[in-house]
Structure 1
Amino acid sequence: MSSDAFTLLIVDDEPNIRSGLARGLAAEADVVETAENADDALAKFAQTNYQLVIADVRLNSGMTGIELLKKIRFSRPQTAVIMITAHGTVEMAVEAMHAGAFDFILKPLDLNLIRQQVRKAREYHQLRVENQRLRSQLASAGEISNIIGGCAAMQGVFQHIRQVAATEATVMIRGESGTGKELVAHALHDLSDRSDGPFVAVNLGAMPETLLESELFGHEKGAFSGAARQKPGCFEQAAGGTLFLDEVTEMSAKSQVDLLRVLESKQFTRVGGEQVLQTDARVVSATNRSVQDMIADGTFREDLFYRLNVIPIEVPPLRERREDIPLLVEHFLEHFCKRHGRPSKRLAPEAMQTLVAAHWPGNVRQLRNVMERIVVTHTGNVIHSGELPAELSRKEGAHRALPRSLAEAVEVCERETIHLALEACESHREKTAKALGVSVRTLHYKMGRYGLH
């Protein structure tokens, strides 16, 4: 069976429920199979890679549906599981969602609601398949260092890196803050003949001018107050390797002259010294500013720009490579779950839509930080759009995607309304229920459904 196929297993001890769901969901999946208890389900699960399981919480024989859910999530965490029950409680719903359930639905079943959730699970499966396809494409194309990108713009960056890595030409990497310019510099080093040599990075924007000369060229003992010993500078430390000058446009006029002289002569002297030293470090620089504008207003030397910009590489902002966001999200979630010792997590389809639509002024760095925050602070396995940082869905900071259906729009609105009501009532359940015009039981169920603990 194709890896793209969407297969569904229905587990319920009531024959009418099994057959009714199988008929009603036949058009939503490529394969629909049924099992009458957990043991039967696990036996079939061992033979078939189901993408979705719909299981009753209470099964007459063997383990419960919640126990089955935990076994499925442990053995195949990518499988989505929807729990159904006629005897639901808030505690049961919370336990199921914490165990990784995709959704928790009460009987009598609303077939339209079931179909809607199955379609969401299928969207999630298709997204995962697409991510795997992109990973395969990247691997076959020779994925570069730790840079992830399947879009045409990033493939162009990869091509530039491969073309110039083995040369000695100076490279200027341009792009907004947070786009991954240092990763590109690392890739140039890793793919060059200098890969066995050192990679030395210095942030010129964070360096006071009084210390910059010493940082770049080193100093002799006693050259200035506090110089208790001789210290090699970055040009010496990078001998045989690569020197990465980040925020190169932040240098003062004097420092620009000093750097230009070294680039032209390949020679320098330490601060307080007389010996002329040679450098063979390859220079790669980066900036997030418009160098042409700085040249025009006289704040950056045109001759230094031409020395640094022999090979230009432009890194696109994240908002211009939105098709890479799902791939980056999956990578960061996997990375931070391992790093912080947390169980695997995934985003609900509407949450992924929010991330893809966001403006991302901080680019990949901002996305990385958001994913780490979610991994550390979110207790469940499924992350919904309402649990993402609020700034991602603000109109001024994001381009909202339209909901895929009216039902989805209602869900998003309902969750946000309950969240705001809880805040206004200081999390007092009875007051919140009264303000919303619903029973406390309904409020508890909705809170469990939307992860509003």
Structure 2
Amino acid sequence: MPHPDSFGVLIVDDEPNIRSGLARGLAGDADRVETAADASEALAKLESEDFPLVIVDVRLNCGMTGIELLQKIVHARPQTAVIVITAHGTVETAVEAMRAGAFDFVLKPLDLNLVRQQVRRAREHFDLQMENHRLRSRLVDSGEMSEIVAGGAAMQDVFRQIRQVAATEATVMIHGESGTGKELIARAIHDLSDRQNGPFIAVNLGALPETLLESELFGHEKGSFSGATRQKPGCFEQATSGTLFLDEVTEMSAKSQVDLLRVLETRGFTRVGGEQLLQSDARVVSATNRPVQDLIDDGTFREDLYYRLNVIPIELPPLRGRREDIPLLVEHFLEHFCTRHRREMKRLSPEAMQTMISAAWPGNVRQLRNVIERMVITAAGEVIHENELPSELRQKTEPVHALNTSVVALADAVEACERQAITVALEASDMHREKTAKALGISVRTLHYKMGRFGLH
């Protein structure tokens, strides 16, 4: 049985030479490549295993046409990408295929390099979907609501960086405003790394007075200062074989910066009041919400420490810079808090959603989460109206009307995709709601709500 994350390609063509030629040519671009001579064989293979990509010729001589097969695949497996092969000059057919849900099309005579480019693009799309799912699943499994929603290009770019850096040992510095989810990104890096079975230790350096910071980071020996009644390991010691997340790292004093730099350079440290040199292989991920270069220029942060910490920088956009994700975040938090507080499922009116999209969001995702929880508890009906939103939210909006139209359109598209996915899942389970909810990865309660909302009862 293929691994669920493997990228398999199914080639459907009634010409043996094209099937075998494409299979050989694409062998290096997929984890596995299989072929089918007609639609019936293709559907049988799709029933027995998943293929993230199907390449199908429009003209299949046996029974079903390529367009008909495309429509069946899109209906039964909406996550599967389909590239359609069509004869040169039949632009109308290509347009019909795209309208029917094709991922892309390629004209005959086939240019193998062009086909390979399209396959790589489909694979990148598949990899991003898998990464999104893995990151969110790990956060949900750990009891956290996933705030890493990657609907738009800004967060997809962050996901690419996480995937690239996770498998390395490089130090990472996450830059972003308060409330953007910097610790969630640090946890995602840890969870996707070879250190995932080791500890993840987080410490907020801005919340600790200098007198306690050294002990917190490096530990202390019994009797080393008043109140030190026992030996205590520090964060570097606790994070050995794992990841140490240093939040608000730019708030450290000059002395603490020197101490941290020494550990990063030598991996060695001593506990407060101790003499034994200890070693830690903890991977360091740090974060700041301040402009580091300004701090370096005014002498409050060491440039050499910055270069040690900032080997791989990750820039987290503020919520106002990723407004296309707001409808998705709203949906996630509504479901989460309606379940937590045992409320009937709620939704935002179009006007309320428009206000949410236009709001300034100085507190970013943390503020949005807080607003949704408040609305779930205080809003009277199933629909949350604009006048029920916090007054400060309605008063502080930004001029993003051109973007709003596209984001609201995105929200409508998300609803359409949801409705289609639920319809397909209900049909596949013969309207068995528990099986449908399990297949969709949602609760039965949420399924009931969405079925009523979309008129699917």
Q: TM-score, normalised by structure 2?
A: 0.57
- Residue equivalent to 1:200: 201
Give the deviation of 1:341 after TM superposition.
Answer: 1.1
Given that 1:238 and 1:281 are in contact with CA atoms closer than 8 Å, whether structure 2 keeps it comes out as yes
- Residue equivalent to 1:213: 214
- 1:367-446 equivalences under 5 Å are 367-394=368-395, 396-399=396-399, 401=401
Give the deviation of 1:372 after TM superposition.
Answer: 0.6
Q: % of aligned pairs identical?
A: 74
Given that 1:391 and 1:397 are in contact with CA atoms closer than 8 Å, whether structure 2 keeps it comes out as no
Q: Pick closer, same or farther for the CA change 1:351–1:400 going to 2, 3 Å.
A: farther
Query: Are residue 263 (structure 1) and residue 264 (structure 2) matched?
Result: yes
Given that 1:358 and 1:399 are in contact with CA atoms closer than 8 Å, whether structure 2 keeps it comes out as no
**In structure 2, what residue type is equivalent to 1:288?**
N
SS at match of 1:229: coil
> Of the two, which has the highest radius of gyration?
1
- 1:184-199 equivalences under 5 Å are 184-199=185-200
- Residue equivalent to 2:412: none
Q: Pick closer, same or farther for the CA change 1:137–1:361 going to 2, 3 Å.
A: farther
**In structure 2, what residue type is equivalent to 1:377?**
T
- Residue equivalent to 2:273: 272
- Residue equivalent to 2:337: 336
- Per-residue Cα deviation, 1:334-369 (whole angstroms, up to 9, x for no partner): 001111111100001110000001110111010000
SS at match of 2:393: helix
- 1:350-365 equivalences under 5 Å are 350-365=351-366
For structure 1, the residue ranges without an aligned partner over 5 or more in a row are 1-134, 405-453
Given that 2:348 and 2:383 are in contact with CA atoms closer than 8 Å, whether structure 1 keeps it comes out as yes
SS at match of 2:179: coil
CA distance in 2, matches of 1:285, 1:180: 13
CA distance in 1, matches of 2:185, 2:385: 33
SS at match of 1:200: strand
**In structure 2, what residue type is equivalent to 1:152?**
A
SS at match of 1:243: strand
SS at match of 1:202: strand
Give the deviation of 1:237 after TM superposition.
Answer: 0.8
SS at match of 1:224: coil
CA distance in 2, matches of 1:336, 1:368: 9
Give the deviation of 1:139 after TM superposition.
Answer: 3.6
- 1:47-66 equivalences under 5 Å are none
Q: TM-score, normalised by structure 1?
A: 0.57
CA distance in 2, matches of 1:294, 1:400: 32
Q: Pick closer, same or farther for the CA change 1:391–1:377 going to 2, 3 Å.
A: same
- Per-residue Cα deviation, 1:118-161 (whole angstroms, up to 9, x for no partner): xxxxxxxxxxxxxxxxx999644543233112111110000000
SS at match of 1:172: strand
CA distance in 1, matches of 2:399, 2:177: 19
Given that 2:128 and 2:159 are in contact with CA atoms closer than 8 Å, whether structure 1 keeps it comes out as no
Q: Kindly indicate whether structure 1 or structure 2 has the higher relative contact order, using CA contacts under 8 Å at least 6 residues apart.
A: 1
**In structure 2, what residue type is equivalent to 1:279?**
S
**In structure 2, what residue type is equivalent to 1:326?**
P
Q: Which moved more, 1:205-214 or 1:374-383?
A: 374-383
- Per-residue Cα deviation, 1:311-344 (whole angstroms, up to 9, x for no partner): 0000000001000000000000000111111110
- Residue equivalent to 1:181: 182
- Per-residue Cα deviation, 1:14-72 (whole angstroms, up to 9, x for no partner): xxxxxxxxxxxxxxxxxxxxxxxxxxxxxxxxxxxxxxxxxxxxxxxxxxxxxxxxxxx
Q: Pick closer, same or farther for the CA change 1:374–1:262 going to 2, 3 Å.
A: same
CA distance in 1, matches of 2:127, 2:155: 13
- Per-residue Cα deviation, 1:217-243 (whole angstroms, up to 9, x for no partner): 000000000000000000011111000
Given that 1:151 and 1:324 are in contact with CA atoms closer than 8 Å, whether structure 2 keeps it comes out as yes
Q: Pick closer, same or farther for the CA change 1:385–1:137 going to 2, 3 Å.
A: farther
For structure 2, the residue ranges without an aligned partner over 5 or more in a row are 1-124, 137-145, 406-457
Aligned residue pairs total 269
Provide the aligned C-alpha RMSD in A: 1.9
- Residue equivalent to 1:421: none
**In structure 1, what residue type is equivalent to 2:365?**
V
Q: Pick closer, same or farther for the CA change 1:169–1:372 going to 2, 3 Å.
A: same
**In structure 1, what residue type is equivalent to 2:366?**
R
